[in-house]
A and B are shown apart, each in its own frame.
Chain A
């Protein structure tokens, strides 16, 4: 069965600190997708990144970076020089790669990590 674990329920940092959000997943599939979403206090989940299991290259987008390690089944998310606007709940998710319809391709979410960035 597929499962996503975000062990950190809440993290609190001071502005400008770096912070890493952990995500560990379980799947029997050899090919799959991993995602990160951000949910600010307004409520809407916003897509951040999608990574397929073929590509283990790390990705950087501005202050955000993602470290995908297939060997440890982890897909961690780092925010460099955090800002108050980064305060949100962050969700990691997993889905099958080949979507033949029905429930295939549905995302399996972790429980989320609430990040508070204090000024």
Chain B
């Protein structure tokens, strides 16, 4: 069964910590995405990558960075975690063509205290 795997389901970190959220897909998809989801705000795109070592800012990149050194792995980095980054983080991947839409991971609920 094809999968997008996020390394942690729940994570609690302290303010100021550097946080890594990992996402791995086994479908050889070219594109990978990081979203955050907050009540009432829907899904907001943080960053995406359409190729290895390529990254593009989404709608809310501030306070985040990403890394894609290998095709299957896309990491989201919070350089200095803050309480307003407490959220649900969702990773997704997509093939270029044909466009079958996204396959999502099960999400990481991050709490910054």
Contacts and interface: CB of A to CB of B under 8 A. Distances in A.
Interface of A: 9, 33, 35, 37, 42-47, 50, 91, 93, 95-97, 99, 101-103, 105-107, 109-112
Contacts of A91: 42-43
Contact of B31 (A43, A46, A105, A110): A105
Interface residues of B, number: 28
B39 to A, nearest CB: 9
Contacts, number: 68
A99 B99 contact: yes
| Chain A contact residues: helix, strand, loop or mixed | loop
B64 to A, nearest CB: 17
B69 interface: no
B63 interface: no
Nearest to A91: B43
B12 to A, nearest CB: 17
B96 interface: yes
Q: Which of A37, A42, A105 has the most CB of B within 10 A?
A: A105
A109 B42 contact: yes
Nearest to A43: B107
A43 B101 contact: no
Contact of A105 (B40, B45, B92, B94): B94
B25 to A, nearest CB: 13
B97 A99 contact: yes
A95 B95 CA distance: 13
Contact of A43 (B41, B50, B88, B92): B88
